A and B are shown apart, each in its own frame.
Chain A
Amino acid sequence: MSHRLRVNPIACEAHGMCAELLPERISLDEWGYPILDEEPLGGELLEHAIRAARACPTFALLVQRERGGRERSG
């Protein structure tokens, strides 16, 4: 089972925490909104991703399980 990042663009308010916590996979555009690398997350990176999702003030960052699985936001 693999996991990928996704953002809820309606909930996102460009706080930028995610890019601080997961710079390996998340950069910010010129307005501060995240640009995600949607490659599967594995091992230690997955843990960081879950921590970043938990830290998002608007719960906009999601770590989604592949194969139509339920999403978890930390």
Chain B
Amino acid sequence: MSAATAARAPTHTTETAPATPALPRLLAGIPAHGAITLERHLALHGELPQRSRRRRGVRAQALALIAEVERAGLAGRGGAAFPTAVKMRAVAQARRRAIVLVNAAESEPASRKDRTLLALAPHLVLDGGLLAARAVGADEVIVCACESAGAGADAVAQAIAERARAGGEEAELRLRTVPSHYVASQESALVSHLNGGPAKPTFTPPMPFQRGVAGRPTLVNNAETLAHLALIARHGAEWFRQLGTPAQPGSALVTLSGSPVGQPGVYEIEPGASLASLIDAAGGVSAPPRAALVGGYGGTWVGAERLPDLALSSERLAAHGATLGAGVVVLLSQLACPAAESARLARWLADQSVRQCGPCLHGLDALAHSLEQIAAGAGGAGADARISRLASLGRGRGACGHPDGAIRVILSAVQAFAAELAEHARHGPCQACARPAELPLPARPIQPAAQQKASPRR
């Protein structure tokens, strides 16, 4: 996949800091090959603001930085869009020495933005991690990269080594790899993994900010979120807000993929930009898409008729029940069968359950089964009603948000593909059903039997 910005031209011409509020920001000055070196990074963006040498000064700086993040309106870019300042404040208030986790686990199969950011601009991410450490009083920053993010993890390791040679780091920087299964990137799963446990979500409280890695208060922020922080600390909240929308300020990384896309890859966009402009930046499409999956695999299907007017901002996407989520946009081609694709996705999501919580394990399986039955023309009259009932009963009943995301995307399929699903329910599979899947559905390691959960009632 290629990495570029929706405003492509400046990518190759920007030689100095992006003091202008325009695009590209995070992807400014990326070289044709490899990552931005420390020297080039400093030439592009300048040094970080000096850290106070006095203890009271450090505290005042931390509070001021969090206040600036709040004014900037920075929200998490891992999918949940939680206000970053609120998270930071919670960790900063804890008494014990904190730890910062840079979450680049990126287990969304159609997302490449975090590994791309690590591979191209690792120093921006490390700056963000160090600034977050200042904000919450941490002495350690751990970058969690997905085990399948080879070039990204390598670039971070090199960047950490470059900084060690340069000296003078204010916090320890470390790189850890994490398993690539779907829920491994969830905050509490990351913490559990780093504490030597399985990479599975845990019951909260305690939340990571209360008791996280090594029992210490832990701030977990997405890698892109922290890269934005690195620029906010340099240029300020006003500068940050000069791009984007009131509810979604700043720029955003988006991974655009799908078989119709000319140049699938990671693009930096201004929230509010039209899907059409993003597609143009990506070399156009071979034919009008059949549908789009927006946000992530726990996101929202949007049908073809709504795509021409689709704008990529939380305000505009809300009208379609969607969010930009982790910045994922996948286009389905006209050749794909939406019924088959959405049923396969539902089954894949059910299989991603780590089988800890009964309602997730059994509920997602039952939902996937119902959608599969409809797509196969074997659903009978009650299948639709069963999906609505299972969905309304299943929400909020897992230890993590996985069942909620799966339910959301299944309900969006029922809505966006109502006609196709009705057609399949009546006549069974169509010709396109037999085509190979367009959505990538990576295989996942099989769970050891001992960790599987079975209801004693059955």
Contact = CB atoms under 8 A, between A and B. Distances in A.
B164 to A, nearest CB: 40
Given A10-B356, A10-B357, A14-B358, A31 B457 contact: yes
Interface string A12-40: 11111000000000000111110100000
Nearest to B394: A29
Contacts of A32: 358, 455-457
B398 interface: yes
A8 B203 contact: yes
Given A29-B359, A31-B362, A33-B397, A11 B458 contact: no
B455 A33 contact: yes
B399 interface: yes
A-side interface mostly: loop
Contacts of B397: 9, 33, 35
Nearest to A70: B205
B393 A35 contact: yes
Contact of B455 (A10, A11, A31): A31
A9 B457 contact: no
Interface string A40-74: 00000000000000000000000000000001000
Interface residues of A, number: 16
Nearest to A14: B455
A11 B456 contact: no
B202 interface: yes
A15 B458 CA distance: 11
Interface in B353-385: 356-360, 362-363
B-side interface mostly: loop
A72 B363 CA distance: 28
A30 B389 CA distance: 11
B456 A15 contact: yes
Contacts of B356: 9-10
B217 to A, nearest CB: 15
A29 to B, nearest CB: 6
Contacts of A29: 359, 362-363, 393
A48 B397 CA distance: 22
Contacts of B453: 13
A31 B358 contact: yes
A10 B203 contact: yes
Nearest to A57: B456
A13 B455 contact: yes
A71 B203 CA distance: 13
B23 to A, nearest CB: 41
Interface in B182-204: 202-203
Contacts of A31: 358-359, 362-363, 455, 457-458
B401 to A, nearest CB: 12
B456 A14 contact: yes
A30 B203 CA distance: 23
A33 B59 CA distance: 47
Interface string B293-327: 00000000000000000000000000000000000
A35 B457 CA distance: 16
Nearest to B202: A10
Nearest to B458: A31
A11 B393 contact: no
Most buried by A among B205, B356, B358, B399: B358
A31 B393 CA distance: 12
Contacts of A15: 456
Contacts of B360: 9
Contacts of B363: 29, 31
B455 A9 contact: no
Interface string B442-458: 00000000000101111
A14 B457 contact: yes
18 contacts: A9-B203, A9-B357, A11-B203, A12-B358, A13-B453, A13-B456, A14-B456, A29-B359, A29-B363, A29-B393, A30-B362, A31-B358, A31-B359, A31-B458, A32-B455, A33-B359, A33-B455, A35-B397
Given A10-B399, A13-B453, 20 more contacts: A8-B203, A9-B203, A9-B358, A9-B399, A10-B203, A10-B356, A10-B357, A12-B357, A13-B358, A14-B358, A14-B455, A14-B457, A15-B456, A29-B362, A31-B455, A31-B458, A32-B358, A33-B358, A33-B397, A33-B455
